[in-house]
Chains A and B, each alone.
Chain A
């Protein structure tokens, strides 16, 4: 096997590694992990988690004395913790705790608890690191405890006190928010709370005290299984009840737009007919808010990615997905003006938004009511946005609000003296710039509105 197919993020755990073979993701397991793998398989532990849809199912492909190869189910698109909404983050944290409790009951324990072990697939969080389970050692503390705090509890508590934007910190701290910094960012009153005091402030103190013990003089104290289960249960109870303080503004978004009901219906009818004619299976809605337009699509989609800059809108979408038990929508937070970068060692562990999009290659990209924000709030020229959309789209459905649109007027007037600079924001300039990268397949104006819809196909330009 060619070793350079090994996934760039799969080097920390010596139990095995992930690789790609003919476009299919597989996992190799080394003899060092054979005992655990056999025990997890034969005891029915894996099966139980598969049935409960908590761990990504896999099938065994080959088995030799020095390597076992398994193939996990395919996940079309992986979103990262810094792209999750608040409740998505909560679900990921609760899933990790659930798995640790179940593991302890069955004589296993999670050896790590990174947020990157979780993906969102078919409408819910699922654990994807099959080799994270190890044997439980009687009376030993949870090795992944600190990781759980810095990857899950920390970001969630920060989001509670400082807003969901705090979750984005994870894009810089790939191994969790540093515990000392985390403690310092929390308000003083959290020291009065026994749960937060012990799990964050005291942990930070202990870590600080022992981090210079290079000789290994201090010894980790014993912790009964009952004690560890108490920690897990109290973390679960606390996180389950955690909410955001900030008030969401997405809610009345569609009331604020200047869409009459008729125009709204017409817009979704146009989208629907284009989507159907293109026989669309996969799409991305850039700036999809709470998924309203994707839900109006009548064709059966396999996978719809719906992203928005507003964590609350994504969260509302996620709640709707859970309520309606929808499995084809994957929501995530995306700022088109600053999409997630590639991070980690050699900038290869976690892929950039653009690269993941190129792999996903959606049949259709929807950019509804986005262009005026990109152009007027972000100062992104039409040519730049055209180039951006052309880089990953097979087809682009884009809505252009003309200069007289009230939302455009609002954005323009907020520019005050700088307003004149945006004289270039016109339908003619938009069409000219987009013609460099796209050919127009269809163009339709929405009656009783200042908006025009385009169906575009990228040309072969680089």
Chain B
């Protein structure tokens, strides 16, 4: 069940199909370029980045206090 306490915007709900398609193409082509660069040995060493990856590690029960 959804609590419709704010308007999500109908246009925003519809447009996401297009946005997702564009995102799919962008992600695919970036991934492809990365593979090609790595194959050709162009890939530069990853600089130290300020923010990490999107992944969140699952709860590790052994490390739990």
A residues at B contact (CB < 8 Å)? 12-15, 32, 44, 47-49, 51-52, 54, 87, 90-91, 94, 97-99, 101-102, 111-112, 134-135, 137, 141-147, 149, 175, 179, 194-195, 197-199, 202-203, 205-211, 213, 218, 220-224, 227-228, 230-237, 240, 319, 322
The reply to whether A227 and B14 form a contact with Cβ atoms under 8 Å apart is no
Tell whether, in the assembled complex, residue A233 and residue B23 are in contact, meaning their CB atoms are under 8 Å apart: yes
Give the contacts of B7-38 with A (CB-CB under 8 A): 8-27, 30
Task: State whether the Cβ of B42 lies closer than 8 Å to any Cβ in chain A.
Answer: no
- The CA of A217 and the CA of B54, in the complex, are separated in Å by 37
CB-CB nearest in chain B for A144: B8
- Distance (Å) between the CB of A20 and the closest chain B CB? 22
Judge if B50 is at the interface, Cβ distance under 8 Å.
yes
Q: How far is the CB of A255 from chain B (nearest CB, A)?
A: 25
Are B13 and A221 within 8 A (Cβ)?
A: yes
The chain B residue sitting closest to A322, CB to CB, is B50
Count A-B contacts at CB 8 Å: 153
Residue of A nearest to B63 (CB): A51
Q: Are A195 and B63 in contact (CB under 8 A)?
A: no
Residue of A nearest to B16 (CB): A141
Q: Can you list 17 A-B contacts with CB-CB less than 8 angstroms, sorted by A residue number?
A: A32-B3, A49-B56, A87-B50, A101-B55, A111-B3, A147-B6, A194-B22, A194-B25, A197-B22, A199-B19, A210-B11, A220-B14, A221-B14, A223-B20, A230-B27, A231-B16, A234-B23
Q: Are A227 and B56 in contact (CB under 8 A)?
A: no
A145 and B12 contacting across the interface, CB-CB below 8 Å: yes
The answer, among B13, B23, B49, B57, for a CB contact under 8 Å with A141, is B13
Listed in ascending order, the chain B residues whose CB lies under 8 Å from chain A are 1-3, 5-6, 8-27, 30, 49-51, 54-60, 63-64
List chain B residues, Cβ under 8 A from A202.
15, 18-19
CB-CB under 8 A from B56, the residues of chain A are 48-49, 52, 54, 98-99, 101-102
B residues in contact with A135, CB < 8 Å:
1
Name B24's contact: one of A48, A134, A220, A230 (CB within 8 Å).
A230
State which of B11, B21, B50, B57 has its C-beta within 8 Å of the C-beta of A207.
B11
Closest to A103 in B: B56
Chain B residue with the shortest CB-CB distance to A46: B59
Contact yes or no, A203 B15, CB < 8 A: yes
Verify B51–A94 contact, CB threshold 8 A: yes
A271 to B17, CA, bound (A): 58
Known: A47-B59, A54-B56. A145 touches B16 (CB 8 A): yes
* Given A48-B57, A143-B2, 12 new contacts (CB under 8 A): A14-B5, A47-B64, A49-B56, A54-B56, A111-B3, A146-B8, A203-B11, A203-B19, A206-B12, A211-B9, A221-B14, A221-B17
In-complex Cβ contact of A194 among B1, B9, B26, B49 (8 A): B26
Q: Are A209 and B17 in contact (CB under 8 A)?
A: no
A233 touching B12 in the complex, CB below 8 Å, given contacts A13-B3, A111-B3: no
